[in-house]
Amino acid sequence: MSFRKLYSIILAVAVVASAASCKKDKDTEASPSLDGMLRFSVPGYISPKDVLIITPRGLSHPEGKGIGYSWRVSPGMSKSDTTRLENGLTPEGHESDGSFRYHFPDSLGTYTVSCYGFADGYTSSYASAYTTVVKGGLNGTIKGTGILTTDKKINTDNTTYYYVEHDGVEWFRNNLANPSYGVSYTNAPAMLNVFGNFYTYEEAMQACPEGWRLPTDAEWVALVNSINPDAKAVVGKPAKGIAADLMSNISFNDTEMWEYWPTVGEFTNKSKLAAIPAGYANLGEKAEDGSYPTAAFFGINEYAAFWTADKVEGEDMAYYRYIICDQPDLQIGKGDTESFGANVRCVRNK
């Protein structure tokens, strides 16, 4: 075949392809968009069987007409629920702002909430958000603590606290969850009995149940030395090579939280404290109602931080003990007494 003939064939194919492309572009010309951006919000964490009412916002019609809304929750819904048509009414003929009501199941896990805003002749607008169903207590969201229902326990503020003795001192095995002090993770009430609350130092000094108190650093040191006398821990210093004895294979809705690091080694949970890597918080300014609306949370899956009762001399700071996922030592740090947020493990003398 000659080059001229081959070129003619290629040219003919290109012309046909170009014509088909033009036709395709014309057939699939994009529709105009609605004005604004569709958005809505859901809590990051909710309790089993919670009911949420979710309202769309942000969209408007360029011609001042109505917008329809369709919702779906996955997993859970096999088909979408249209809560509002373009005429502003529900499919049943009632007035609607597009709000969506959903009764979540008791199955723990993360759910995707999706919404479409639509109008005839316009491209649909889409938004999604996520919420996670969590549950406190044994066999809830947090597993792997090694706690059994038959272990020593007390009940207060509708919460069960398990405890263990070390060197004549009894220690909480789960984080303090006092609803009267501090703030829950991401300000989600459902997380109170999952991670416990994050407290300022002053709150931590008051939050333990009657007969219990915040442990001193000397008691943390005594705990370490009772678990492993070779640690030779001292007050005010990191406790060497003890982190794995304070850790266990904690999981959050069946997803492991502590990452394994060879420098730390296998988790033994010899202490039976099973530290949860809930991170720490910058609580920000306290509102008049006692809440912390601007609290920011850091270090989840990496840090477990617990207040001690010891203030730093001459400073508005107090000591806290903490674990980092990739370091073998129980560290010691200083936190601002009014803004740093850490968890609490209460103690009492036997």
Mean pLDDT of 293-321: 97
For residue 268, what pLDDT is reported? 97
Other beta carbons within 10 angstroms of residue 145's beta carbon come to 20
Q: How far apart are CA 325 and CA 302, in angstroms?
A: 5
What is the amino acid identity at position 171? W
- Name the pLDDT band for 341 (thresholds 50, 70, 90): very high
Q: Quick one: DSSP state of residue 153? A: E
As separate numbers, helices (DSSP H) first and strands (DSSP E) second, the chain gives 5, 22
214 pLDDT more than 50 = yes
For residue 83, what pLDDT is reported? 98
For residue 17, what pLDDT is reported? 42
Other beta carbons within 10 angstroms of residue 315's beta carbon come to 10
pLDDT, tens digit, 9 for 90 and up, residues 66-96:
999 999 999 999 999 999 999 999 999 999 9
Structure tokens that stand for 299 in this block: 């270090």
Mean pLDDT of 281-291: 94
Structure tokens that stand for 302 in this block: 């990496």
Q: How far apart are CA 275 and CA 278, in angstroms?
A: 9
For residue 30, what pLDDT is reported? 82
Strands 45-46 and 125-133: parallel
pLDDT, tens digit, 9 for 90 and up, residues 108-151:
999 999 999 999 999 999 999 999 999 999 989 999 999 999 99
Give first-to-last CA distance, the chain, whole Å: 100
Mean pLDDT of 172-192: 97
- Residue 82 is inside which H or E element, if any? strand 81-84
The reply to whether the predicted model has a pTM over 0.75 is yes
Mean pLDDT of 237-246: 97
What is the amino acid identity at position 305? A
